[in-house]
Amino acid sequence: MSIPINNKIEEQKLIKIAIFKKEIRTTKPHKHQGYFELIYLKNTTGYHCIDEQQYQLSTHNLFIIKKEQVHYWNITSEPFGYVILIKRDFFLQNIDSTLKQFFFDITQLTQIDLPEDTNIDLLFALLLTEEDQTAQEALLKALFIKIRNSTITEQLPLKSGIYSAYLHLLNIDHTPINKVNHYAKLLHTTPQNLNASCQKNIGLSAAAVLAQHIIAEAKRLLIYTDFSINEISLQLNFTDASHFTKYFKKHTTYTPNNFRKL
């Protein structure tokens, strides 16, 4: 059994804005491929589970579901909110080059409790009916800035260019490659510079940052699929199950089999 994939955006579309479906109450664990999902819910009760982490719904909730993340809902009231689905290629075609950076800043978080006096409902409502690309990008930029400004002082650390670009690559890569040198080449820098940038920003090596992404995907596969350890190791680009087991235990203290039994 593999992780169910729910794709809610048409192949030819790069972005989709919709009202959160009021009939949604509970869903089974699933993921999306090829796009980010930004969800805003207002005055809704219940919880939202993302990669093992349960978030209580409250007055103003914003969730950012990144590639490969597994999530599901348990909503106990009639939901009100909006959903924005954005494919990576959208940012390659937009006019405003800063739009991508503002969006990337907020995608460093998974859940954001917006202030009581937020009025982003209006921006979502305008986006829902706007079809002009330039106007749509302006509204998106205003939305991303408003979200970013409400969180940056408390939750979002400032990041240097290389580190920020590194995280972006890891977030769009379907399955991370366990080689820092691979990403250094893509960023046109050296592994040493990439490592220094990671150390400066969060006090971790580039390899440790990469490991966080690999382990997160490994945990999803162990929890939500019945793939064998050998199948998972191959899917994550390890040479064999033994190598994967040692790597997983090094970063979690559990063997893959023991983690699966928790």
Angle at 34 between CA 29 and CA 40, to 5 degrees: 60
Dist. CA 171–CA 39, nearest whole Å: 18
Chain centroid offset of residue 28 CA? 18
| CA–CA dist 119, 63 (Å, integer) | 16
DSSP letter (8 states) at residue 34: S
Mean pLDDT rounded to a whole number for the chain: 88
- Pick 160-259's CATH classification: 1.10.10.410, 2.60.120.10, 1.10.10.60, 2.60.40.10: 1.10.10.60
Our CA angle for 245, 248, 251, nearest 5°, is: 145
Mean pLDDT of 136-164: 77
pLDDT of residue 156: 52
How much is the average pLDDT of 117-130? Answer: 91
pLDDT reported for residue 158:
52
Q: What is the reported pLDDT for 33?
A: 79
Which tokens go with 172?
Answer: 């769009």
Residue 21 or 98, more confident = 21
Q: Is pLDDT of 152 > 80?
A: no
Greater pLDDT, 215 or 133: 215
pLDDT for residue 129 = 94
CA atoms within 13 A on the CB side of 197: 21
How far apart CA 250 and CA 244 sit, in angstroms, is: 10
- The model's confidence at residue 75, banded by pLDDT at 50, 70 and 90, is very high
Question: Structure tokens of 235?
Answer: 């899917």
Cα separation values, 9 from 136, 169, 194, 258, Å: 17, 22, 35, 37
Q: Model pTM?
A: 0.75
2.60.120.280, 3.40.50.10090, 2.40.160.20, 3.30.720.200: which CATH number matches 3-150?
2.60.120.280
In this predicted model, what pLDDT tens digit does every residue of 188-246 receive, in sequence order? 999 999 999 999 888 999 999 999 999 988 998 999 898 999 999 999 999 999 999 99
Query: Which tens digit of pLDDT belongs to each residue from 17-68?
Result: 999 999 999 999 998 877 899 999 999 999 999 998 999 998 899 999 987 7
Binned at pLDDT 50, 70 and 90, residue 127 comes out as: very high
Quote the pLDDT of residue 232: 94
Q: What CA–CA distance (Å, rounded) separates 40 from 61?
A: 6
| Residue 248, pLDDT above cutoff 80 | yes
Q: Give, as one character, the DSSP assignment of residue 85.
A: E
Q: What integer pLDDT is reported at residue 11 of this predicted model? A: 85
**Domain regions of the chain by residue span:** 3-150, 160-259
Cα separation, 131 vs 136, in Å, equals 7
171 or 111: which leads in pLDDT = 111
**Is the model's pLDDT at 155 over the cut of 90?**
no
From CA 92, how far away is CA 144, in angstroms rounded?
Answer: 17
pLDDT at 3: 83
pLDDT above 70 coverage of the chain, percent: 95
